[in-house]
Each structure stands twice: as structure tokens, then as C-alpha cells.
Amino acid sequence: MTDQIKHIHSYYSPNDLYNKIMEGLNSLGKDLTKLTLDDLQPVDEFHIRGDTATKELIKLSGFTPEMHILDVGCGIGGSTRRLSHEIGCRVTGIDLSDEYIDTAERLTQLLKMHDRVKFHATSALELPFDDNSFDGIWSLQMNMNVEDKPGWLKETYRVLKPGGRAVFYEVCGNKNAPLYFPVPWAQDSSMSFLVPPEPFRDFIEFAGFEIVVWNDKTDLAKKAFSNAAKPAGEPNLPALGVYLLVGNDISAKAYNLHRNLDEERVSLIETVAVKPESRSATPR
């Protein structure tokens, strides 16, 4: 692990995460033996527009029940499980954070989905899978933490079967810089590596993919964060929320994301890219 990756790993390493989520569920009066995906949604879908975006992306994906999909940067597995639940496919999630992966596995066990949904703690830059292993790729809001975008996309391309589709839902930079920090994915600039949409598109194509869907979702992101206000006084945190994943300063992070979106410092892109049938597993 490089020092930079260790630094990012430490940002996504809360203590005792699973038990904190259980406490939150208990205080909301949830019966843990009858837990649903929706019960976990406030904490386990850590991306802009949460489960609404996940459901839209599932429709866009074209994935089918017999497929095996790789979720790259899966967090605690909210959208990993939802993808498997909605499509009926097998999904393997990987994430840098051991604490997130431990939580993802235990939540999946609790939901009795462990036959179809598996997890590994590993970096997206060194995937422990053979070439052409997966029928599809699913990666939601992870590129922000990855400086080596060619390396990440090269690995993603390598493990995808020819003809397979990759769904990316990614925060990108925009016309203006620098960003206001902290933001939900980074405490400061040492862990955030955004490029504007056009260079991001170039990175995807350079890896060998053909882009078949490209939608700018920035306006919807702006709407989602339009009420994020400047925090004042002690934070009033709900029983369950993504602050459990990245700290109690979540209101400041949401407020800065709102400012970064409004001032055209950040954008949001959903895209589907295909690994062409005719090319070899080795990208350009």
C-alpha cells in the first residue's frame, strides 16, 4: 500500500462500525430479524441521491440475473446488495476499507443475501481477479479518491469480459477550482483527485472502453443538496446516517458539497461504457 492509499484508507476506517449501525437500528425500533434494504438506506448508500440513483443506474445497466458483477469501491455494500436484489445476479464488492468490508459482510449475512453477494478488502488498483472474470462492472463514486485514474480503469477493463458493460456514477471536477473542504469523500485536498468531465471521459476511452451512455446529473445533485445549510453549534445527527462512515462533521461536508456544486467546482456524471468484443484483455 502506498502512503497515499494508506492515508485514504485511514479516512474510511471508523471504529466498531457494524455495532454502531446496530445501535442506530435498535434506537429506531427496527426488528433485526426482519431487516430490509430500505431500513439500511440512510447509512449504506453512500453516494449522491442514494437509493434513487441506484435504482436509476440499475435500469441503465442492462445487467441480467445470470451475470456476475464486480462492484468496485463498494463501501458497506448498500448498492451492491440492491443491485443483486433487483436483478437477481451475483455481485462481488471490493473496497479499500477493511472496516467497511467487515461491516458489508455482516450486514449481508443479517439480510441473508450472502449466497449471492460477497466482499473482499482490496485496492481497485490491484484487483485479485483473473482477466475477463466478470460480466459487468459497477462503480459508484470512488474515482474521487483515486489519483491514478488510468491504473484504476485499466484494472477495471482487464477483469471485465469482452462485450461487458461498466456502469460509473462519478463525481468529477468542473470549470472552477479549487474545492471547498472538507467534502464527504475527503477531509482535505490530499485525498481528493477530481478531473473535469471531458478528461474523465478521455481516461475511460483511453482504457479501451466505448462509451454508450453519458449523462450529466449535476443539476439533480444540486437539487439534492440545495437545503444543505452552513452548520452552527453542536451537530444534530440522526440515529443512522453516513456520518457513521466518515465523521460527525458531515453537515460541513454536505454544505461544502452544495457550494462546490453551485459554484461549478464539482459535477456529477453517470456513464455506461462497453469493453468491445474484438479487443484483447490488454488495454491500450
Ligand X SMILES: C[S@@+](CC[C@H](N)C(=O)[O-])C[C@H]1O[C@@H](n2cnc3c(N)ncnc32)[C@H](O)[C@@H]1O
Residues that bind ligand X (CB under 6 A): 5, 8, 12, 45-47, 73-75, 78-79, 95-97, 100, 123-125, 140-142, 145-146, 185
Residue 228 has, within 13 A of its CA and on its CB side, a CA count of: 23
Provide, rounded to whole angstroms, the least separation between the CB of residue 97 and ligand X: 4
**Orientation angle between helical segments 98-110 and 17-27, nearest 10 degrees:** 40
Nearer to ligand X (CB atom), residue 203 or residue 279: 203
In contact, 132 and 163? CB cutoff 8 Å: no
- The distance of closest approach from Cβ of residue 124 to ligand X in the complex, given in angstroms and rounded to an integer, is 3
Q: Which triple of cell numbers denotes residue 192?
A: 481528493
Cis omega (within 30 of 0) for bond into 182: yes
C-beta closer to ligand X: residue 30 or 120:
120
Nearer to ligand X, 247 or 279 (CB): 247
Name which of 86 and 279 has its Cβ closer to ligand X: 86
> How far apart (Å, rounded) are the C-alpha atoms in residues 96 and 104?
12
Helix %, strand %, coil % of the chain (to 5): 40, 20, 40
Name the minimum Å distance from CB 276 to ligand X.
25
Decide whether 145 or 271 has the Cβ nearer to ligand X: 145
Residue with cell 455482516: 106
Give the nearest distance from C-beta 232 to ligand X in angstroms: 25
Report the C-alpha gap between 196 and 131 in whole angstroms.
29
DSSP 3-state assignment of 100? Answer: helix
Distance of CA 112 to the CA centre of its chain: 22
* Minimum distance from residue 233 beta carbon to ligand X (Å): 26
CB of 284 to ligand X, least distance (A): 22
The smaller minimum CB distance to ligand X, of residues 51 and 135, is found at 51
Q: Which residue is nearest to ligand X (CB)?
A: 75
How near is the Cβ of 26 to ligand X at its closest, in Å?
22
- What is the number of other CB atoms lying within 10 angstroms of the CB of residue 236? 7
- Give me the DSSP letters along 242-254: THHHH-TTHHHHH
Instruction: Give the span between the Cα atoms of 71 and 124, in whole angstroms.
Output: 10
66 or 189: whose CB is closer to ligand X?
189
Written as nine digits, the cell of 30 is: 427496527
